[in-house]
Structure 1
Amino acid sequence: MNDISNIRLYALRAIYLLVVVGLALTLWPEVLASKKPIASWGFFHGVQTCMMGAFWLLCALGIRYPLQMLPILMWELIWKTMWLVAVPLPLYLNGTFDEKLLPNVMAIGAVVLIYLVMPWSYVYHHYVKKQGNPWRKLG
């Protein structure tokens, strides 16, 4: 029921590693080589940078603890799917899709890899079917 194969665990680790390496190559050089402090980057750019740094750290933990860190992959899966459905899909269906958006769609569309490696039975049993923690101690 909740047994996850080694292949699935290694596939999850590969996803976490892909994120860690990808952000190491794109995020950290910008942060470390910046002549200006993050506080001067502007509100949204600073928030995005800090959020991606936290995401990077949590994905690094996911390499060691792939099942315990599933909520971080679930968050990634949900926001990327929402964006793909809410932003480029309506533009495409209306015939107003701007080709400049294509690199973002391709990068965010890589979320399909998470759909493929997610242990859906485990997610169902641990996050849907399993009884939640009590709100307060009884007795």
Structure 2
Amino acid sequence: MNASTTSATTDTITPLRRNLLRACHLLLVVGLGLTAWPRLLASGPDRPVIDGAFDAVLCALQLLAIAGLFAPVRMVAVLVFEVLWKAIWVLVVAVPLWSRDALTPEVTETLFACAFAVPFVVIIPWRALVGDLIRRREPWHGAPAETGVPGERWIPRRRRG
């Protein structure tokens, strides 16, 4: 690989961390394969629409996690999404219920499922990811920064007048 086709994130990830990222993706593949797909496929017309939509999003996440098994660094956004939605849910839903001593069995079960994302926080290469986003940000207009994506090129805007 040459410098134009790799990112700083890809270059700075150790083989151990890359394999740990694969393990995180595998956890999503297996976990969502055992939970979200059966719920979605077994759901009937009486199920609340939002529950079906939620499971469909999780199934899509599982399909993206399969790609993460083969490209764990490039698909790290899947893991970031997983961490973010669970952290938001814990902070906005679970913590207020816990503080009022109003946890239900359903909330406790979801909270337990959210705990599986805790190792992701340690394994995700946050510093390299943020650094890569800052270094390789895209302009609002004009020629794009070097993306390293083969075949991507800048097409100039037509001049007015």
Structure 2 length as normaliser, TM-score?
A: 0.72
1:108 aligns with 2:131: no
Task: Map 1:86-97; keep pairs closer than 5 Å.
Answer: 86-94=92-100, 96-97=101-102
- 1:72 to 1:5, Cα distance in 2 relative to 1, 3 A: same
Larger Rg: 2
Alpha-carbon contact 1:12-1:117 (below 8 Å) kept: yes
Aligned to 1:125: 131
Would you say 1:44 and 2:50 are equivalent positions? Answer: yes
Aligned to 2:62: 56
Distance across 2 between alignment mates of 1:43 and 1:105: 22
Q: CA RMSD in A?
A: 2.2
Q: Hey, what does 1:25 align to over in structure 2?
A: 34
| Gapped regions of structure 2 (runs ≥ 5) | 1-7, 144-155, 157-161
From the two aligned structures, give the one with the greater helix fraction: 1
| Deviation readout 1:97-119 (Å, 9 max, x if unpaired) | 32522221111122211101111
Give the TM-score, by structure 1 length.
Answer: 0.82
The corresponding residue for 2:73 is 67
Q: State how far apart, in whole Å, the 2-side matches of 1:122 and 1:133 are.
A: 17
Which one-letter code corresponds to 2:79 in the other structure? L
CA contact (8 A) 2:22 2:69 kept: yes
- The question of 1:135 aligning with 2:140 is answered yes
Q: Which runs of 5+ in 1 are unaligned?
A: none
The residue number in structure 1 matching 2:25 is 16
How many residue pairs are counted as aligned between the two chains? Answer: 134
User: In the aligned structure 2, how far is the partner of 1:77 from the partner of 1:86?
Assistant: 14
1:61-84 deviations in Å (ceiling 9; x for gaps): 011111111112111111111111
- Preserved CA contact (<8 Å) 2:40 2:52: no
How far 1:31 sits from its partner (Å)? 4.1
